[in-house]
Amino acid sequence: MAGPAASSGLRLDKWLFFARFFKSRALATRVVESGEVRLNGRVVAKPAQTVSPGDELIFPTGPKWRRLRVLALAESRRPAPEARLLYEDLAVGIIPSGPSRLSDSTG
């Protein structure tokens, strides 16, 4: 799944698209830019943010929120059974819908 270049990480929008959470990379980009994605507990609004194996993500997919751990990187979008190997699902629907639930309260 991962090639030599993948060891340094992969853009967040590409990873979300390759892992089949969004039907297009443009949609993945919009969700990241909305500020509703957390990477290792921090709000991320830049689609070019790098993700690596071991990172934890929280993000909305329709009416549900996903919490998962990145297990691997990919070089392209693959069939769903292969895409499922890219992550470990930690919880589904753990956060009530709404961006206010993801506001950064650390500041």
Q: Is residue 47 a part of any domain in this protein? A: yes
Model confidence at 20: pLDDT above 80:
yes
Task: Determine the structural domain holding residue 35 and report its residue range.
Answer: 8-95
Model confidence at 76: pLDDT above 50:
yes
Q: What b/e sequence results for 34-50 when a residue is b if at least 16 CB atoms lie within 10 Å of its CB, and e otherwise?
A: eebbbbeeeebeebebe
The model carries a pTM of 0.80
Q: Is residue 15 a part of any domain in this protein? A: yes
Phi (first) and psi of residue 87, to 5 degrees = -150, 160
Q: Domain containing 85 — which CATH number?
A: 3.10.290.10
Residues 34-59: pLDDT tens digits? 999 999 999 999 999 999 999 999 99
Q: Is residue 39 a part of any domain in this protein? A: yes
Q: Is residue 102 a part of any domain in this protein? A: no
